[in-house]
Amino acid sequence: MKATEPPSNSSLNLTHRPASELAQLIRQREVNVETVVQAHLTQIKHYNPQIKAVSVLAEEEALKSAKQADQELSAGSVEIGPLHGVPITLKDHAIVKGMRTTLGLPQYWNYRPSKDCELVARLRRAGAIILGRTNVPFGCYDWNCRNPIYPETVNPWNPSRTPGGSSGGAAAAIATGMTPLDMGSDLAGSIRLPSHCCGIFGLRTTDGLLPMNDVGPEDFPDAPSLLTVCGPMGRSIADLHLMLSVLAPEQRKETTPVPEKLRIAQTHKILDITADETSQAAIESFLNNLSKDGHTVTRDCAPEVDMAECFELWALITGHLASISLPKLMRTEPLNSILLFYVLQMRMGGGWIAQNLRKGFHSSEQNFQNALGRLEEIRGQVTKFYDQYDLWMLPNMPGPAFERTRMNWNFKVDGQRVSYGTYNGTYHCTTALMGTPGLTVPIGFSGGLPLSVQVHSRAFSDFWLLKVAEQHLESHADIRWPTGFGPAS
């Protein structure tokens, strides 16, 4: 994809508006869909060679869909969805009919699905225009954005740093105005961590809220859908709410009122991982602002569960599901052993998380069922915690986006060597196991790199959480455009 001339001021005006605002402008006929889509295509062509966030550009299909959307508006069609004419990208994870879908895996380099998964179909029915796919790591299974098929995505705040993973391409594209919205997925922070690294909002939805059974390639074996979820990513809470209302229409009528004053629990430390001083200071400043607003903050408070057990159960369940859901070819030797070594040693850097994932991969069906039983007990304990608190806040990462290292075991916490997987997974795997919605809120910067806090609430309170964030949290957020990517002054 070659670079083009810089976008015009009018194009920048469109590429830097929220999706919710674009949808309103289109419905009111103040701008036509083709103009909006073309502006985003121009933005991608100009900046993507630098950032490498968009791996597949569907220009012809997007412009064709845009013309059709304009015709429907001109004809006075009553079938105008909430995303009518709004351009979006889609992480290279969920299958999209006729559009290359790889998951960063070489065997899928030219795979074009014969159908949309249900979530993509919902977005299309709502009128969204798909611009293309955003980049992911190998198998969508890493906290960076590197795979053997496409160039590695870089962080728009500092190209020597990672945009995060696995939804790193999505986060970088949103941060640079290439797209207003993307649908990420999250098993171990894959929405929350890239949102942190690139300074945007992202929502890991409640486990079980959205249909996940048909998201992967059509030749994937049938397996239970557990722990992995999809969710919206964008630059405003309103945009996340807009996309989620399309993805989960049956849940959007939630009527629980937003309290005027919140009961907030907060912790910096999970197991042996603690956020660095700058991150802690940013979170403390955010909490102090909330306290000034009259909300109650209880520090060093978390669900009363064994976090080590949560981490171990996450690894056992994830490893077991991976073992039964791999394509048949990858379950045969020697490919299976090579894959495990590559993922667990070369990508995860070995360590505690890799050891437990390996145990899960080789676990019996009985061990898996026992783990599911314990999972339900833990989630019951977490539910009781939210009888006492409205929100639980904790760091997203121990620090800002890390360097794009090739060998992933070079982190230190308080002078102690920590494996790549433990460093990036501790705040995310434990909370994913709990199954609750988790929202990334950008709150500050360290050395020119974004910092954030993740905010959790009761299971299936996703829309309520977004309402709370819009009413009480967003005014204290710190969301900016990376240098060189903001609107023209």
CATH number at residue 40: 3.90.1300.10
* Sequence-ordered alpha helix ranges (H) in 409-476: 420-434, 462-468
Tell me, what DSSP letter sits at residue 34?
Answer: H
Name the amino acid, one letter, at 372. L
Question: For residue 271, is it within any domain?
Answer: yes
Name the amino acid, one letter, at 483. T
Question: For residue 220, is it within any domain?
Answer: yes
Instruction: Convert the pLDDT of each residue in 290-337 to its tens digit.
Output: 999 999 999 999 999 999 999 999 999 999 998 887 766 666 777 777
Question: For residue 362, is it within any domain?
Answer: no
Name the amino acid, one letter, at 72. E
| Closest alpha carbon to 434 in 304, 289, 283 | 304
Q: Is the dihedral of CA 457, 458, 461, 462 positive or negative?
A: positive
Kindly give, in sequence order, each residue whose CB lies less than 8 Å from that of residue 456, ignoring residues fewer than 6 positions away: 391, 392, 393, 394, 431, 434, 436, 437, 438, 439
pLDDT of residue 8 exceeding 60, the answer is no
Annotated active-site residue 190? The verdict is yes
Question: For residue 76, is it within any domain?
Answer: yes
Collapsing DSSP to helix, strand or coil, 222 comes out as coil
As a whole number of angstroms, the distance between CA 488 and CA 14 comes to 11
Collapsing DSSP to helix, strand or coil, 262 comes out as coil
Can you read off the two tokens belonging to residue 375? Answer: 């999972």
Of these residues, 20, 55, 166, 195, which one is catalytic? 166
pLDDT, position 409: 63
pLDDT of residue 406 exceeding 60, the answer is no
As a whole number of angstroms, the distance between CA 193 and CA 143 comes to 7
Tell me the average pLDDT across 173-201: 98
Question: For residue 1, is it within any domain?
Answer: no
Instruction: Convert the pLDDT of each residue in 371-393 to its tens digit.
Output: 999 999 999 999 999 999 999 99
Q: Is residue 250 within 8 Å of 214, Cβ to Cβ?
A: no
Of 5-14, 26-35, 361-370, the poorest mean pLDDT is in 5-14
Range of the domain at 103: 9-309+367-476
DSSP-derived pairing of the beta strands 296-299 and 263-266 = parallel
Burial of residue 222, with CB atoms counted within 10 A of its CB: 0-12 exposed, 13-18 middle, 19 or more buried: exposed
pLDDT, position 166: 96
Question: For residue 328, is it within any domain?
Answer: no
Of these residues, 11, 55, 190, 195, which one is catalytic? 190
Kindly give, in sequence order, each residue whose CB lies less than 8 Å from that of residue 197, ignoring residues fewer than 6 positions away: 155, 161, 162, 163, 164, 168, 171, 397, 400, 401, 449, 450
pLDDT of residue 407 exceeding 60, the answer is no
As a whole number of angstroms, the distance between CA 314 and CA 432 comes to 8
Question: For residue 316, is it within any domain?
Answer: no
Of 117-121, 158-162, 241-245, 404-408, the poorest mean pLDDT is in 404-408
Count how many domains the chain has: 1
As a whole number of angstroms, the distance between CA 402 and CA 400 comes to 6
Annotated active-site residue 91? The verdict is yes
pLDDT band at 348 (very low <50, low <70, confident <90, very high): confident
Long-range pairs for 344-349: beta carbons < 8 A, 24 or more residues apart: 346/407, 346/408, 347/137, 347/138, 347/141, 347/142, 347/408, 347/420, 348/408, 348/419, 348/420, 348/421, 349/407, 349/408, 349/409, 349/419, 349/420, 349/421
Collapsing DSSP to helix, strand or coil, 126 comes out as coil
Of these residues, 11, 45, 52, 91, which one is catalytic? 91
pLDDT of residue 485 exceeding 80, the answer is yes
pLDDT over 90, % of the chain? 80
pLDDT, position 329: 63
| Closest alpha carbon to 234 in 439, 32, 39, 465 | 439
Question: For residue 396, is it within any domain?
Answer: yes
